[in-house]
């Protein structure tokens, strides 16, 4: 099961890393500190391979490079390991009682790296510049998303969407009981060097039944908000997945105990599976209105898509420069020491089940 806990948004990097694990009930949380190429992802995968033979593993993919890991969590052992470096800096709440630092800075041969100082500083600066370019393009794309919504929005349209939501709640959740369900916040999608990546396999792993909410105009927010509050008041545990274009806005809701999911399928991230039910919110917009606004909507959508392509390109540049950084550091990293860290952490986590 893989989610994102952070991604670039129009307002910069947005983090849900405080949602990785319930710290108050955790046995142990390891916070990795270290620079590029020091083996953080290698350590995470090595420990996950060992613990995964005994327990379910929750993976957190890197928000800019989904092939890389930023955290792993082992619910059975109430343990987690997280990359606590920029941009998702993690600080302990109860140092060495719950959280422990792992200083991977020790694996570098600092003296051997010094001749590359200027090149390293330059590459780091380029990563920062391209990352800022991505955020600027996202900000512009977000303004166009707002324009797309306001072009078709009306009180009647929102009421149509809410009518669909009320029908879904009545059919799937029944009456509310005034209880407080447990909510975990995640991103299912992120803007990455590979484009907009959505972890649809996670939906299939957690949900036997899926409602696909087909939405080109931003109406799904109203449907999901209604479902969210009904699920919470009915006492359900839910995973609320937010929109990376606006991390205050819901994009998907997963109810693992019910094996039920409500996912938004948009032109930016189409659901790649076969849903049990499809809610066609686009059909709520009157055909005459769509015909009258067709030219404007096409222009807005094409311009938005071009900006998202710029975001992908900028993230690609960030990855390329970060890969160059790692290639510069890697020859001067003691990976045997990284593996010894992984072995020690694995044994410490496994000990919590004895």
**Segment 22-58, tens digit of pLDDT:** 888 899 999 999 988 898 999 999 999 999 888 889 9
280-283, Cβ contacts within 8 angstroms, sequence gap of 24 or more: 280/214, 281/161, 281/164, 281/213, 281/214, 281/215, 281/217, 281/219, 281/220, 281/223, 282/214, 282/215, 282/216, 282/217
Domain that holds residue 32: 2-108+333-353
Q: What is the mean pLDDT of residues 193-204?
A: 94
Residue bearing the bigger pLDDT, 198 or 268: 198
Residue 26 counted as domain residue: yes
Separation between Cα atoms, residue 84 and residue 87, nearest integer Å? 8
Task: Decide if pLDDT at 232 tops 60.
Answer: yes
Shared domain for 348 and 269, answered yes or no, is no
Do 87 and 171 fall within a single domain? no
Question: Do residues 7 and 245 touch, judged by C-beta distance below 8 A?
Answer: no
> Where do the H-state alpha helices sit in the chain?
40-51, 110-113, 117-152, 155-172, 200-206, 220-233, 287-292, 294-329, 335-350
pTM for the full predicted model: 0.90
- The per-residue pLDDT for 286 is 83
- Tell me if residue 50 falls in helix, strand or coil: helix
Give the model's pLDDT for residue 223: 94
- Work out the average pLDDT over 282-298: 86
Structure tokens at 251: 């994009």
What phi and psi, each to the nearest 5 degrees, are found at residue 266? -125, 170
- Tell me the CA end-to-end span of the chain in Å, nearest whole number: 25
Give 259's pLDDT tier (boundaries 50, 70, 90).
very high
Is pLDDT at 115 greater than 70 in this prediction?
yes
323 part of a folded domain = no
Q: 265 lies in a domain?
A: yes
Distance between CA 50 and CA 174 in Å, rounded? 42
Contacts by residues 298-307 (CB-CB < 8 Å, ≥ 24 positions apart)? 300/144, 300/147, 300/148, 300/151, 301/144, 301/148, 301/216, 301/267, 303/144, 304/141, 304/144, 304/145, 304/148, 305/267, 305/268, 307/137, 307/138, 307/140, 307/141, 307/144
Regarding whether 284 and 140 lie in a shared domain, the answer is yes
Cis peptide before 263 (omega within 30 of 0): no
For the chain, the domain total comes to 2
What is the tens place of the pLDDT at every residue in 120-141?
999 999 999 999 999 999 999 9
The model's pLDDT over 175-195, given as tens digits with 9 standing for 90+, comes to 656 667 889 999 999 999 999
Same domain, 193 and 75: no
pLDDT tens column, 335-354: 999 999 999 999 999 998 75
52 in a domain, yes or no? yes
Mean pLDDT for the chain? Answer: 91
Q: If you average pLDDT over residues 239-247, what whole number do you get?
A: 95
Res. 265: pLDDT tops 80: yes
Domain match, 93 and 178 both? no
The two tokens of residue 59 are 């993976």
In a domain, 247, yes or no: yes
Query: What pLDDT was estimated at residue 276?
Result: 92
Q: Are residues 159 and 258 located together in one domain of the fold?
A: yes
CA–CA gap between residue 321 and residue 131 (Å, rounded): 11
Which pLDDT score, from 0 to 100, does residue 180 have?
79
Rounded to whole angstroms, how far apart are CA atoms 172 and 315? 40
pLDDT score recorded for residue 111: 94
Examine residue 37 and state whether it is found in any structural domain, yes or no: yes
Q: What is the pLDDT of residue 267?
A: 87
**How far apart, in whole angstroms, are the C-alpha atoms of residue 297 and residue 57?**
43
Percentage of the chain beyond pLDDT 70 is: 98
Q: What is the pLDDT of residue 178?
A: 60
Q: Which residue has the tokens 């972890």?
A: 199
Specify the pLDDT at position 24: 85
Asked whether residue 52 falls in the same domain as residue 104, the answer is yes
88, 181: one domain: no
Asked if 143 and 247 sit in the same domain, the reply is: yes
Q: With a cut of 90, say whether residue 301 has pLDDT above it.
A: yes
Say if 127 falls within a structural domain. Answer: no
User: Is 115 a member of any domain?
Assistant: no
């Amino acid at each position: 099961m893989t989610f994102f806990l952070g991604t670039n948004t129009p307002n910069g990097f947005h983090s849900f890393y405080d949602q990785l694990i319930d710290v108050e009930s955790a046995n142990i949380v390891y916070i990795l500190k270290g620079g590029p190429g020091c083996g953080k992802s290698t350590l995470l995968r090595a420990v996950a391979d060992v613990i995964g033979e005994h327990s379910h593993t929750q993976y957190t993919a890197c928000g800019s490079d989904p092939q890389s890991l930023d955290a792993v969590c082992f619910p059975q052992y109430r343990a987690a390991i997280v990359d606590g470096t920029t941009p998702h800096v993690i600080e302990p709440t109860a140092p060495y009682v719950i959280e422990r630092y792992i200083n991977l800075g020790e694996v570098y041969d600092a003296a051997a790296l010094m001749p590359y100082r200027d090149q390293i500083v330059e590459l780091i600066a380029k990563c920062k510049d391209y990352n800022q370019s991505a955020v600027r393009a996202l900000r512009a794309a977000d303004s166009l998303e707002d324009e797309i919504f306001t072009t078709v929005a009306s009180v009647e349209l929102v009421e149509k969407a809410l009518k669909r939501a009320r029908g879904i709640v009545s059919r799937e959740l029944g009456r509310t009981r005034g209880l407080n369900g447990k909510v975990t916040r995640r991103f299912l999608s992120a803007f990455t060097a590979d484009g907009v990546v959505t972890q649809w396999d996670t939906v299939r792993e957690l949900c036997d039944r899926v409602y696909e909410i087909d939405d080109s105009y931003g109406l799904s927010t109203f449907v999901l908000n209604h479902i969210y509050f009904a699920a919470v008041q009915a006492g359900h545990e839910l995973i609320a997945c937010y929109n990376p274009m606006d991390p205050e806005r819901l994009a998907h809701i997963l109810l693992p105990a019910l094996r039920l999911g409500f996912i938004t399928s948009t032109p930016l991230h189409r659901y790649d599976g076969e849903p049990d039910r499809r809610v066609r919110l686009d059909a709520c917009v009157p055909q005459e209105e769509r015909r009258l606004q067709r030219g404007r909507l096409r222009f807005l959508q094409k311009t938005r898509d071009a900006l998202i392509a710029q975001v992908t390109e900028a993230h690609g540049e960030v990855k390329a420069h970060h890969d160059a950084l790692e290639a510069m550091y890697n020859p001067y990293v003691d990976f045997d020491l990284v593996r010894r860290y992984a072995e020690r952490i694995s044994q410490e986590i496994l000990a919590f089940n004895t």
